[in-house]
Structure 1
Amino acid sequence: MIRMVIGDPAPLFRCGLVAMLDQMSDFEVVAATDSAKDVVRAGLELRPDVALLDVDLLDMDGFAASDTLHDEVPECLSVLMTARSRPGDVRRAAAAHAQGLVLKDTSPDGLAAAIRKVARGQRVVDPDLAFTELSAAENPLTDREHEVLVLASEGKSADQIAETLLLAIGTVRNHLSRINRKIGARNRVHAIRIAEEAGWL
């Protein structure tokens, strides 16, 4: 029996998953919620075998929830679900210690098979997601430029970025200008959007 916790922000989809999996003799859904914090709490209290998580949970994204489960309930393996194929998701899933990444339009049998494989210790990645990852543009940013852009994406000003990274304000502005030139961005906001869509953030 594979004991599961489900995290998905859409009530109809979440209830559908519970109903579908409960019909299968080798699955038991022990908790279902829209909250990443509740997923982690259920993991600690109920010790499920697998967590099936949408990447866009309400209070924390599914990647962060998977990473937290790995740290706090290492025996609970995570399968992440996403509604769209985005560059960078496979890397983010691996960094979050997820064992699986599937599209939400996967067939019921396909999803069940993926969960069973993960429960046996295998890794599962939807082929469409894998091809999206392979075809994604190479990140042209240096490690320092990436650090600067990450902080900019968090809403920090150039002064705050300089203070955080212990750099001169002029150096930060130079990094931001180089980032814009490298990726063809009009400004900082445009650069952040380009980087997010490419999976670099």
Structure 2
Amino acid sequence: MIRILLAEDMHMIRSALAALIRLERDLDVVAEVTSGDRIVPEALRTRPDVAVVDIDLPVVDGITAAAELRAVLPSCRVLILTALGQPGHLRRALSAGLEAFLVKDAPGERLADAVRRTAAGLRVLDPELVAAAMEYGESPLTPRETTVLKEAAAGATAEEIAARLHLSPGTVRNYLTSAVGKVGARNKVEAIRVAEEAGWL
């Protein structure tokens, strides 16, 4: 029996995934969490073989939480659920040592196979996701530009970002201007859209 921890913040999606998994005789969901900060504590409590982790989790994102899980519980393999529209996440996750990915719009029957392959230590990479990641390439943004653009995407003003990052508002605006230019956008809103679609944020 393969023991599974399921991390997904959307209740309906999480319930549907759990139901699909429980249809399989050799798979069992032993834990469900709704935020990235709950993955490690729950995994240490339930000792799953595989963690199925949504990439967009609140509090701590899926890739960061999965990397932490691999560090403290290496016996637990991780299968990342991601949207095809965010190929930059694949590069980030591979850099974090994660090797199994399933796109969210994949047919339901592929989930059980992906879980089994992940449990066996095999690499699970969707060819379309790999092709998209190669098309977008590496993020052109520096870590600071990424942080500033991510804060702006959450709705923070230049002054609010400056206060949080201990910078001047002028410096924040310079980072935003630089980010806009590097992603080939016309303005901040377009830069956020381009960076989010590429998975750079």
**Range of TM-score over shorter length:** 0.7 to 0.9
How far apart in 2 are the matches of 1:172 and 1:59?
Answer: 24
Instruction: Give the gaps of 5 or more residues in structure 2.
Output: none
Match of 2:82 in 1: 82
How far apart in 2 are the matches of 1:5 and 1:149?
Answer: 34
One-letter amino acid of the counterpart of residue 36, structure 1: G
Match of 1:197 in 2: 197
One-letter amino acid of the counterpart of residue 25, structure 1: R
**C-alpha contact 1:85 1:103 (8 A) present in aligned 2:** no
Structure whose CA Rg is larger? 1
1:173-192 Cα deviation digits (max 9, x unpaired):
77665544443333455434
Select the residue among 122, 126, 147 that pairs with 2:143. 147
* Structure 1 segment 63-102 matched on structure 2, within 5 A: 63-102=63-102
**C-alpha contact 1:6 1:33 (8 A) present in aligned 2:** yes
Match of 1:37 in 2: 37
Q: C-alpha displacement at 1:151, in angstroms?
A: 3.5
* Structure 1 segment 125-144 matched on structure 2, within 5 A: 125-137=125-137, 139=139, 141=140
**C-alpha contact 2:88 2:137 (8 A) present in aligned 1:** no
TM-score, scaled to structure 2: 0.78
How far apart in 2 are the matches of 1:47 and 1:97?
Answer: 20
1:44-76 Cα deviation digits (max 9, x unpaired):
111111001111223322112211211221211
1:77–1:194 CA distance, 2 compared to 1 (3 A): same
Instruction: Give the gaps of 5 or more residues in structure 1.
Output: none
How far apart in 2 are the matches of 1:150 and 1:193?
Answer: 13
1:22–1:146 CA distance, 2 compared to 1 (3 A): same
- Alignment length (residue pairs): 194
Identity %: 37
One-letter amino acid of the counterpart of residue 48, structure 1: P
SS for the counterpart of 2:142 is helix
Match of 2:20 in 1: 20
RMSD value, Cα:
3.0
SS for the counterpart of 2:57 is coil
Match of 1:123 in 2: 123
**C-alpha contact 1:148 1:172 (8 A) present in aligned 2:** no
How far apart in 1 are the matches of 2:48 and 2:133?
Answer: 30
How far apart in 2 are the matches of 1:17 and 1:151?
Answer: 32
Q: C-alpha displacement at 1:21, in angstroms?
A: 1.7
1:19-44 Cα deviation digits (max 9, x unpaired):
22222121121111222233221111
1:184–1:71 CA distance, 2 compared to 1 (3 A): same
One-letter amino acid of the counterpart of residue 194, structure 2: I
How far apart in 2 are the matches of 1:171 and 1:57?
Answer: 30
Q: C-alpha displacement at 1:136, in angstroms?
A: 1.5
TM-score, scaled to structure 1: 0.78
